[in-house]
Amino acid sequence: MSHLFYQTSQRRPLLDQARGVYLWDVDGKRYLDGSSGAMVCNIGHSNPNVLDAMRRQMEKSTFGYRLHFETEASEQLAARTAALCPEGMNKVFFVSGGSEAVESAIKLARQHALAVGQGGRWKVISRSPSYHGCTLGALAITGYAPLTEPFAPMMRAMPRVPAPRAYLDGLDPADPATGAHYAAMLEAEILAQGPDSVLAFVVEPVGGASTGALVPPVGYMEAVQEICRRHGVLLILDEVMTGAGRTGRFLALEHWGLSPDIVVLSKGFAAGYVPLGAIVARDDLVAAVLEGGGFLHGFTYAGNPLACAAGTAVIDEIARLDLVQNAETMGAALRKRLDGLAARHPVIGDVRGLGLLMAFEMMADHDSKAPLPAHLNAHQRLVDIAYDMGLIVYSRRTRDGIEGDHIMVCPPLIVGEQHLDEITDTLDAALTRLADELAL
């Protein structure tokens, strides 16, 4: 009997060890980590340089409470992180994970509004579908009914705009009119809410698990930034999943040359070695909050030196191994292979993503984009079949199937062609078995 509990009663094998792109359970079975956990382990498992850096920090100190001490480790990681962000974003606030980081971004934005005499601004617009975390504040801006509905009475309802799922709406994502169309929905929502009441727009630059690696249509992100600026709405980029090289740039915002007000980081930022997240904010925004009395926010473990030492070592390894470039190169190679799978398996209706944030969506019908019947639970079945075969991929369990059966294929950024072959060969066999089982 286990004393642990998680989302469901499903039990998984005990993990024994993990190295590079592989994990082994206690029975010696090997798994290829085709999803980097939950798009976390960007530099692979058990990187010796990161472990060394952690050991060195452990011998110095593992905790210094932020009201008593600053540490070299946190100062260093803050400087390294700021250097990777757009100009004028030099202020870093550490937390222990993505949900905490999103909460922190929202609260910083609100305190900034108060500090500059715009206390009427409190509404945070986000997209649907989207995922920004599981704590009540982050959940309030998450556009994903199966997760939010039970807690709705406990949260302040926040406005949503549709995620730009051009492929479902029959629009061409390469046509600038498509990007303009979805961006116009944001402006319409800001106007409907009353611009003076809107605090921020929070957006995943490339959609994560809720939309299955949704890449924005051409012009969308730039238009969204311009609309936010024009209406005095802060732009918060949730790069929890897209950051740390995942999309073939250190930050996904680099694809469009964006300069947001706040960037949110976690997951690949410490790549699973320790719990760590951060927000990086514009200097003037933080200055206004600090001059206005200070940021009323902070977690006991914020800026933990062990976590920060690991974070710096991860950034070093990303640079040393040229992983941002590898994400771009291997991402293109993976897409080719997934397109090949789509040609052989009619159930694959869409392949999408950027860098190594890749996904495919299974559908009943390519033309109408009709989803597979929800009761088949096809995405979870495929994940389970692949798992049996020694490949880990990721999907989100949906209650009603409206979000589609998408599978995230997001291996660590250290993958080579041989790993991609292993991933696609296993997926090929798993899709064949799925089609047999479900009579697709």
Positions touching ligand PLP (CB under 6 A) are 38, 97-99, 102, 131-133, 204, 208-209, 238, 240-241, 266
**Of 36, 34, 13, 41, residue with least CA distance to 25:** 13
CA quadruple 316, 310, 84, 43: dihedral, nearest 10: 60
Looking at the Cβ atoms of 131 and 220, the one nearer to ligand PLP is 131
As a whole number of angstroms, the distance between CA 265 and CA 415 comes to 22
Exposed/middle/buried for 440, CB within 10 Å: 0-12, 13-18, 19+?
A: middle
**Of 362, 367, 354, residue with least CA distance to 378:** 362
- In whole angstroms, the minimum distance from the beta carbon of 231 to ligand PLP comes to 24
Looking at the Cβ atoms of 130 and 426, the one nearer to ligand PLP is 130
Looking at the Cβ atoms of 269 and 376, the one nearer to ligand PLP is 269
Whole-angstrom CA distances from 284 to 116, 281, 290 are: 11, 9, 10
Residue 102: CB partners within 8 Å, gap ≥ 6?
Answer: 132, 133, 135, 137, 138, 141, 202, 238, 240, 264
- In whole angstroms, the minimum distance from the beta carbon of 241 to ligand PLP comes to 4
- In whole angstroms, the minimum distance from the beta carbon of 69 to ligand PLP comes to 26
- In whole angstroms, the minimum distance from the beta carbon of 359 to ligand PLP comes to 13
As a whole number of angstroms, the distance between CA 353 and CA 361 comes to 11
Provide the edge-to-edge strand list for the sheet that holds 394-395: 348-354, 357-362, 405-409, 394-395
Q: How many CB atoms are located within 10 Å of the residue 65 CB? A: 11
**Of 51, 44, 5, 47, residue with least CA distance to 23:** 44
Residue 410: CB partners within 8 Å, gap ≥ 6?
Answer: 34, 35, 36, 39, 213, 246, 356, 357, 358, 359, 394
Got the DSSP string for 160-206?
EEE---HHHHT--TTSHHHHHHHHHHHHHHHHHH-GGGEEEEEE-SS
Looking at the Cβ atoms of 60 and 397, the one nearer to ligand PLP is 397
Give me the half-sphere count of Cα atoms (radius 13 Å) on the Cβ side of residue 338.
25
Looking at the Cβ atoms of 190 and 214, the one nearer to ligand PLP is 214
**Of 352, 312, 360, residue with least CA distance to 75:** 312
Name the residue with the smallest CB distance to ligand PLP: 98
Which tokens in the block code for residue 259? 């300069």
Looking at the Cβ atoms of 102 and 313, the one nearer to ligand PLP is 102
Looking at the Cβ atoms of 189 and 238, the one nearer to ligand PLP is 238
As a whole number of angstroms, the distance between CA 62 and CA 306 comes to 5
Looking at the Cβ atoms of 38 and 136, the one nearer to ligand PLP is 38
Looking at the Cβ atoms of 158 and 376, the one nearer to ligand PLP is 158
Which tokens in the block code for residue 266? 């976690």
- In whole angstroms, the minimum distance from the beta carbon of 128 to ligand PLP comes to 14
Q: How many CB atoms are located within 10 Å of the residue 194 CB? A: 11
Looking at the Cβ atoms of 78 and 240, the one nearer to ligand PLP is 240
